[in-house]
Structure formats: structure tokens, C-alpha cells
Chains A and B, each alone.
Chain A
Amino acid sequence: MKKIILTSVAVAGVLLMTAPAHAVDSTGCGLGSVIFKGQKGPLMQILAVTTNGTFGNQTFGITSGTMGCDPNGTVTGGTGKLVFAFLENNMDQYAFDASRGSGETIDALAGIMGVSSEQVAQVSKEHFNELFPDENVQVLAVATNLMNLLNVAA
């Protein structure tokens, strides 16, 4: 529920920011989609500090972090879902780490997939242009390609 709210906020934000010519479906799950912004301005920040607000419902459990970027359920399997959920939330940082061949997201992905960081780093850097062919690349494609390149079963 919480994620749905955040996603709606994010999507609404994206909608407001993009020109009308842009298709809705190509904006939500690419670079820059994790934008749920901080409270703006000193006043809003002071107000936010007083409450340490958590937006969302009150059913206890782990909030999964899924943003709904795989509506057709293409990604299956435990590892695949974990890789996908991670990239949904960290795609911009992973793109950065892939381009330079090191970084924490590479270590995290290696941990999830059960391969070495060096391997993920090397493959990500070498195949950067396949993983990120253009600026509107979607997270689903990145996750699938990465797992294929590393021969990791979903």
C-alpha cells in the first residue's frame, strides 16, 4: 500500500514534469524514476522533523520496495525478483557503478546473485552499452540483460 502511494506520487511527479508528448509508460521505470522528494524548504523540513512522518498503512511486515515496474509478472524466481526489486530502487546508482566498474550496488547485486563482485563489476563495465543502450532504458530490460550476461538463473 505504502509503495503504491509512493509510486503514485512518483508517477504523478513525473507526469507533471514531462512534456505532454511523452508517453506515460516510458517514464515511470527508467533512469530518475526514484524521486520521492524530500520536504522542500526550511519550513517544511522543520515541520517534517517534528513528526518524523511515515506515509502509509499500518499492517506490519517488510515493505518490499517494489514499484510496479513489472506489471505483467515477467520476472519470476526468487533471485530474479530480488535483483529486479533492487534495481527498481537503485537503477541510477547501479548505472553509475557500472560505468566506473565499482561501487556498493555492484557488491549488493553480487550478494543477491551469488557471484563475485569482480565478476559483476567486469560484466557491467564491459557490457555497459548493452545494459544501457539509450537514455530511456527501462529497469526490466536492465535486470533481464544483467542476469543473462552473468548466466544467473532467475
Chain B
Amino acid sequence: MRGKRVLFILNGALFLFFLIPSVQATFVAHSPEWLALGHYRPSLFGVKSTIDSENFFLASDGKTNPDAELNATLQLFQSNDTETQCRFPARYQFLKQKKLIQTPFPDCSKYEQFKKDLNPIGITLLYTDAYMNNPASLFGHTLMRIDIPEGRTQLVAHGVNYGAFVDPNENGILFAVLGLTGGYMGGFTVKPYYDIINTYNNIENRDIWEFHLNLTSRELDFFVAHLWELGHTQTRYFFFTENCSYMLMEFLDAVRPTLKLADTFPAQTIPLDTLKAVYQTDLIDRVQYRPSRQRRIAERYRHLTSNEKKELLNYLETLQLSPQFTPTQQAAILETAYEFIQYQWTEGKTDLKTYRRQTFKTLQNRTKLNTPSTPPAIQMPSPLTAHHSARITLAQGFERGNSFQEIQIRPAYHALTDRPNGLLNGSEINFLNTNLRYYDALKQLSLQQLQLVEITSLSPWNALFHPFSYTIKTGINRNWNPKTNTYGYTYDLSGGTGLTIELTPKLYAFFLGETGMHYGGFLPHNLGINIGAKTGIVGYFNTYQLLIEAERLFSDNWYLNQTNIRFNFTYNLAQNLGLSATYILKDIHPHSNNTFTVGLNYFF
């Protein structure tokens, strides 16, 4: 009897001995840490991992079953398969800390070498700004840097980039289509930071912003361990959703699961938005700015006197400096010249022989001067100061004496008249800008416009840089027919190209030649083409933006033969709030239509 009881108790203890770890394992398998480490995201039935590589999962149903995956991982670390064990240092660290693993981590020479080469002391989130003349790149790009202890420069630290693996000879259109539809596999690459600087700062001429993250040393270890785990995997790359920035969100969640950054981006992931989300979590403790080569040249040029500017342009022709300038002036001119010659070379505007002759001569001239280099300090508003991506506008207006209310929704991203801080002056990229109007007298709600895409780039042309400005728009618009006094819709596609001049750093003037195609039952003969020109000024001041433009279009279709004048004034109340007034005159001789609107813009 007594013996039986003892046996019973023993049995119970044995049962508990096996049960407790398995309860504990089940509990851990559903913890935020384990789910983040396996990149499990909520799906229709339970959870599913974002990672597509089969080798990331040890259990056959590991992609959708975090319990099975945890048990398989525990089994792995009880086995003697050290090669596979070496691929999962972060899982090991986590499960060891949860006391589910007691065995030591094996000797992994490749992983140890990887850590030794990285020599990590901290993590910095990198954000690259737009190309100077390309609004489509305003969405930015994010990557990471693993900082090294050497204090003065991080040039030889390493950058971590998530991108699609692409055949270098891929056809351009195919490249875009596959990028949008998940036709490429994405993965992590690790390369020296100087390589990243060369690519973004010096070849693509994009600014780099460096946001240092306040990770603990344990989190830093975990970061490198998890990078090793993910580095061996691949995942379908989707431009709008599972892109460079989204994967970094999941990555940071794995390092610090309380962040829950990936939850913020269930649909599209815009890199600038991810940067702001990281900022919201108080993860960023300091910011540094690394201007692009083009920006460095532009700022150096801006700081030259008009005589020095003339001498620079002359020097670029002759490689001869006039002795009338002081050594400090000469140094400034030569350094600007050197950077400009490099710019010309990476832009493919000069040949190697000329490049070498020009740079070598310039360096020889520079080295004769014993003057220290004093490039101008460059300050730009950080991308964190940019407005949010989506905009809603509530407006009150009058059209030919009829009052109306308007609601305008623009999911992304930036208009010519929006506050430009942290973005780019003279640039615009809008998607699905939709405008609904309700006329008080008619008691009628109507779609005023549905612009699919609007892109504008007004980039100043000067003595050194010669970018073309351009604009392209397409969408559905509601129009007024003066002859019948009725309204109707057209589908419009228009574009233009020309030049922009910087009157002052805050005020641009532009001149564009334009052409448009218009289709709709509303038009005489359903279809029309017009051609013409547009000119205007756009100003970016501290608290407001100003746009005034006039357009004259010619067509054999009487309706499309028109003059349009637009005036917009936007006052910035806050980073994400603005007040705007717009006046539009459409003149179809001899009739004219005036619209005046006042509205409140809110960015979210």
C-alpha cells in the first residue's frame, strides 16, 4: 500500500517532470519573442512566417506552426548536428535564457569569424533620401549599419541591406513588374559602409541620414545572431509590402519584441514612414547627416563669391588658376572643381583619360597650397520633420457663384505645394488623389477628380547642373462645358518638359512645354489633343508655400483651346496640418470659369 503510494507520487513527479517543460515550451512557443524570432505574422488560420526559405524551418510545418518549430529547435540542440546548430545562434540564445536548453553552443568558426569581422559596438539605421531630380525616389530607402568601435569614422564599418536579388542584365520593364509582383527573392547582404557611401552619396547622389539606435549590449549580440540566421534565408520581395523597410521592421521586432513595429505596416510600407515609426519608439538616440556629392558641390558653389564662381567655371575649362585669388580662395575653388569633375565622371559625362588628367592636375594644384580644407557645413531638415504620407483635405469653395464643400483624399505622397521639410523642393508625387464635391444649391455630390498619378520635378538648372524639369499626370476630371452649361468627365493624360531656374534658394521659376490627350463623351468628337506651354513660380518659405502658374494650350478642338491660371497659398500650421487657399481660372474664350477654395490639409 505504502509502496504503491510512493510509486504513485513518483509517477506524478515523473509526469510533472515531463509535463512542466512541455507546458513551458508551449508557453514560450506563443510568446512574442519566439513569434518575432520566427517572423510569424497573424494569418487567416493562426500564424504564418514571412520567411520563405525552407531551410529557416526545422519542422516540416514550421512555417505555420510555432510549437512544432520550437520543439524541433529543442531537439536540434539535443542532437549532435552542430552544423545546423551553428545556423541558429539567436534561437539558441533565447531558448537558453528561457532555460529550455542546457547544452553549450557549439564552436562555429564561420559565425565567430563573421562576428569578429563585424566588430560590433552599436547599430545605426540608415535612411537614403531622394535622387535630386526624381520624385519617385522620395519614398526613400532604409538599411542598417553595424557600427565599429573606432571613434572618428565608420567608413570601414559594415552596412546591412535587404534587397531583391536581380540579374544585372535584367530588362528594365521586367525588373519593375517582377519587383512589384513578388517575382524576385529578397535577402540580406553585408558590405563595407564605404561601398554604401560610394553607391548612394557619390554615384546616385542621395543624402544619407544616420540614426543611431539605443540597443543594449545583449540586444546588439542578438541582432548579429539573428542577422546570421536571416542571412541564410530568402523571402519573396514585394515593392509595396514586403520590401527593404518592412523586413527591417520585423528584424527590429525580433531584437526587441515590445516594439511591435511590423504591426504598424499591415499594408504598404513606405520607408520614410518606417523611420518615423522607429522614432516613435524612442529607439533613436542621435542623428548624423551625410550629404550627397551633388549636394556638397551645390553648397560649396553657393558659398563662392561671383568672382570665385567665374574662376571655377574658367578653371574647369582651362585647369589654370589666376594668381589674384588668396590661397584660401584657391583651395575652395580647387576642391569644388575636384568634386565636380568626380560628379561628371560618375554621370558618364567625361572619359577616363580626361577624368584622370583633370583630377590629377587639380590635386597637384591643391597639394601645393598649405591651407586647411574648410568646406561649408551643410544643414538640412531631417526626414523625421517631413509630413506624413496620406493627406485629407476639407474645403469650402465657390465655382461661378455656386458654393460647395469638398473632401479630398490622397493616400500618398507629396504635392508641390505641401510643406517640403525633409523632402525635396520642387518635387511632387501623388497617387490616387481623389476629390468629392457637394454643391449646396444642387444638393448633389459628384466626383470632381480621380488622379491616378501626378509626378512633377522642378529641378534648378545652373552653371554646374543641367537637369530637365518634367511633369506627367493622368486621371479622370470633371469639366464644365460653357456652351451647354453642363458638366462631364474626361480621362486625361498630359505631360511636359522644360527648365527651372533658382531665383533665390527659396523661389523657383519654371517654363515647361506641354502636351495632353483627352478622352470623354463630353468632348466634341470624344477625343482631343492639345499642345502649349506653362510658366510659373513656386516658393518655399519657412511657414508657407506659394505657387502661381499660367498655362496656354492650343487645339483644333474648341474646348481644349484654353488658358488656365492657378494660384495656391499654403500656410503650415504644424508638421501635419496646413491651411490652403486656391484660385483657378479656366478660360475657354469667350467663356471663363472661376473656382476659389479654402481648405484645411491634414496629413496622417
Could you list which residues of chain A lie within 8 angstroms of chain B, going by C-beta atoms? 2, 5, 9, 14, 17-19, 22, 27, 30-32, 34-40, 42-58, 60-63, 65, 82, 85-86, 89-90, 92, 95-96, 98-105, 107-108, 110-112, 117, 125, 128-129, 132, 134-136
Contacts and interface: CB of A to CB of B under 8 A. Distances in A.
A58 B53 CA distance: 12
Given A37-B348, A62-B114, A86-B194, A32 B355 contact: yes
Interface size class of B (residues with CB under 8 A): 35 or more
Contacts of A52: 141, 161-164, 179, 237, 243-244
B156 A111 contact: yes
Contacts of B228: 60
B190 A61 contact: yes
Contacts of A37: 203, 346, 348
Given A17-B351, A18-B353, A102 B359 contact: no
Contact of B137 (A22, A49, A103, A110): A49
A54 B339 CA distance: 27
Interface stretch (B91-99, B180-188, B564-572): B180-188
Contacts of B331: 100
B431 interface: no
Contacts of A17: 351-352
B191 interface: yes
B239 A56 contact: no
B470 to A, nearest CB: 7
A35 B176 contact: no
Given A53-B175, A96-B339, 16 more contacts: A19-B353, A31-B359, A31-B360, A37-B203, A38-B204, A38-B205, A46-B136, A50-B175, A60-B187, A63-B190, A100-B331, A107-B155, A117-B152, A125-B367, A134-B360, A135-B359
Interface string B177-210: 0111000110111111011001100011100000
User: Which has the most chain B C-beta neighbours within 10 Å: A27, A82, A86, A90?
Assistant: A90
A40 B131 CA distance: 11
Contacts of B373: 100-103
Contacts of B367: 98-100, 125, 128-129
Contacts of A85: 192
Interface stretch (B166-174, B398-406, B511-519): B166-174
Contacts of A47: 172-173, 175-176, 179
Interface in B68-117: 110, 114, 117
B554 to A, nearest CB: 27
Contacts of A104: 153, 155
A124 B537 CA distance: 49
B175 A108 contact: no
B434 interface: no
B345 interface: yes
A134 B357 CA distance: 9
Contacts of B187: 54, 58, 60
B34 interface: no
B131 A58 contact: no
B338 A96 contact: yes
B40 to A, nearest CB: 22
Contacts of B189: 2, 54, 56, 63
Interface in B308-363: 331, 335, 338-339, 342, 345-346, 348, 351-353, 355-357, 359-360, 363
28 contacts: A19-B353, A22-B353, A34-B198, A37-B348, A38-B199, A42-B136, A46-B136, A47-B176, A48-B175, A49-B134, A49-B136, A50-B239, A52-B237, A53-B163, A54-B165, A58-B165, A58-B234, A60-B228, A62-B158, A62-B191, A82-B156, A85-B192, A86-B156, A86-B194, A90-B194, A95-B363, A98-B367, A99-B364
A89 B194 contact: yes
A11 to B, nearest CB: 12
Interface in B121-170: 131, 133-134, 136-137, 139, 141, 150, 152-153, 155-156, 158, 161-168, 170
Given A31-B359, A103-B373, A128-B367, A51 B164 contact: yes
Contacts of B25: none
Contacts of B345: 32, 35
A39 B166 CA distance: 14
B474 to A, nearest CB: 15
Nearest to B331: A100
